[in-house]
Structure 1
Amino acid sequence: MTALVLVLAAGGVIGLALGALGGGGSVLAVPALIYLLGFTPTAAGTASLIIVAATSATALSAHARAGNVRWRTGILFASAGLVPAMLGGVLARHLPASLLTGAFALTAALAALRMLRPSGYGPDDPPVRPVQAAGAGAGLGAVTGVLGVGGGFLAVPALVNVLGLRMRVAVGTSLLVITLNSLAALLARAGSAETLNWATLGPFAGAAVLGAWDGKRLAEKVSAGTLRRIFACVLLTVAAFMLIDVLIV
């Protein structure tokens, strides 16, 4: 019973983050799966991709109805990252668990610090810049494949600061990027999905999908700046915990 409560609570929080911020679900899913539910880092990466892909697709539909998705930009951004994501997924199978955990923690910390920095958002979305979109998308795809993250916690800052999208549009567009990147990375990890604990993974993903709907409503009531600061603090806490764990071991 206690394990089920943990699964549902963790899934709900992850869905809430994805729905409200357009990212961050996998940054919380991986440590939750490792430290709360006993998954190995490799299995946690695969499981998080399944959870995040399903949750992001659900949240994407809600943001699309609100007109907050730039489809052309998102598809271009994601397409550039598909091959790097698949190659990263293959590489992840051959990396030691401690290296994956440490790299994940450092990535989360850098993303949190970036989110704490103030950013200016223009009143209008600029036209798509193919070179910048492709470059940022390729880098994000590689991170997605290796670390088993959807990439939204990095995609939102990139869409805002590199491509100049408004925050709400960046959140919606990032969900398209996350969905496509997660599916590509899962193709490279398909063999490892057979060993997952589906009895745990199913309720986790279900709670995350439901949480994503609440996250979308939350995003409409709370300022983007407040949401970013809260989530950045959570990221820094998670990153510090994981780094300490790696260093002690």
Structure 2
Amino acid sequence: MTEVLLAVVAGALIGLSLGALGGGGSILAVPVLVALGQGPAQATTGSLVVVAMTSLAGAVTAHRAGNVLLARGLTFGLVATGGAVAGARAASAVPEPVLLAAFAVLMLVVGGLLAVRQWRARHAGPADRGARRAVLDDPIITFSPTFACQCPRALKVLVTATAVGLLTGFLGVGGGFVVVPALLIALTLPLDLAAGTSLVVITITSSVALAARAGSTPAPDWSLVAALTVAAALAAVAGARLADRVDTRRLSAALTGLVLAVAAYTAATALPALV
């Protein structure tokens, strides 16, 4: 009973983070499930259930608030599915301590990239911000009136989406601490739209990775997963509404701090098991 109550509290925090920031779901879900007695493989599988359902709830709310670029999110998510399947199949062949260590390294890298990007955004001039907005409004591929392709940007989307899919399938990380930076880098979206659009991508990649993992990894405790999922999905709706009222610079700082903090915790957990 105590474990279920802890799962509900943790689920609420996961949902608020995922709904408001477009990230934090997986990096909180995996350590929480491990702390509640699940193995790393069980935790990464369970986290996909939590994140897929929570992202779906948050995506609907974010779309109603106008913070989702649906077509770009669907395209990015569908491109990422190939990597998600390959990553999920590879995960079953890797020792669990290695999964946790890889998880920690990934978060440290992403946290560093976010910190650098945040610093650059603070020092960007009005001309730089205007140029980024122009790129956002400019389609990558058009078919009418004639076919046109910005192939370097299209290649960047292909490579980035495939990498996101691989990480989702391999580490069970459907969350936006991977997807939001990917959208910021590949599609040059402002943070508010990246956070909302990432929820569409996360829903697709997490669902595909979960299906690919079926039968190949140990099943988690489904009662804990259900408690996390219900609490997180309800909190994600509130988080998505909160995102529409909060300064995006504060959201960016919160996302960076969250990624780095959990990276340090996960690294401290994983390293002793590798020695």
TM superposition score normalised by structure 2: 0.84
**Could you say which residue in structure 2 is the equivalent of 1:241?**
265
Q: Give the unaligned 5+ runs of structure 2.
A: 122-128, 141-153
**Could you say which residue in structure 1 is the equivalent of 2:187?**
163
Distance 2:171 2:139 in 1: 28
**Could you say which residue in structure 1 is the equivalent of 2:75?**
76
Deviations, residues 30-66 of structure 1 (Å, cap 9, x unaligned): 111112x111111111100000000001111111112
Q: Give the unaligned 5+ runs of structure 1.
A: none
**Structure 1 stretch 209-218 or stretch 232-241: which is displaced more?**
232-241
Indicate the SS of the match to 2:137. coil
Distance 2:253 2:266 in 1: 20
Count how many residue pairs are aligned between Structure 1 and Structure 2: 248
Indicate the SS of the match to 2:165. helix
**Structure 1 stretch 70-79 or stretch 25-34: which is displaced more?**
70-79
1:61-140 matched pairs, under 5 angstroms = 61-117=60-116, 118=118, 119-120=120-121, 122-123=132-133, 125-129=136-140, 130-140=154-164
What amino acid is the match of 1:142? L
**Could you say which residue in structure 1 is the equivalent of 2:25?**
25
Identity %: 39
2:17–2:239 contact (8 Å) kept in structure 1: yes
1:46–1:192 contact (8 Å) kept in structure 2: no
1:7-26 matched pairs, under 5 angstroms = 7-26=7-26
Which has the higher Rg, Structure 1 or Structure 2?
2
1:239 Cα offset (Å): 1.4
Distance 2:78 2:256 in 1: 28
Indicate the SS of the match to 2:215. helix
Deviations, residues 86-125 of structure 1 (Å, cap 9, x unaligned): 1110110110011000000111122222222315454452
1:141–1:151 contact (8 Å) kept in structure 2: no
Distance 2:115 2:96 in 1: 29
2:24–2:258 contact (8 Å) kept in structure 1: no
**Structure 1 stretch 150-159 or stretch 171-180: which is displaced more?**
150-159
**Structure 1 stretch 25-34 or stretch 146-155: which is displaced more?**
146-155
Report the RMSD for the aligned CA atoms in angstroms. Answer: 1.8
What amino acid is the match of 1:42? A
**Structure 1 stretch 84-93 or stretch 163-172: which is displaced more?**
163-172
Indicate the SS of the match to 1:195. coil
Distance 1:200 1:151 in 2: 19
**Structure 1 stretch 73-82 or stretch 205-214: which is displaced more?**
73-82
Deviating above 4 A after TM superposition, structure 1's stretches of 4 or more consecutive aligned residues are none
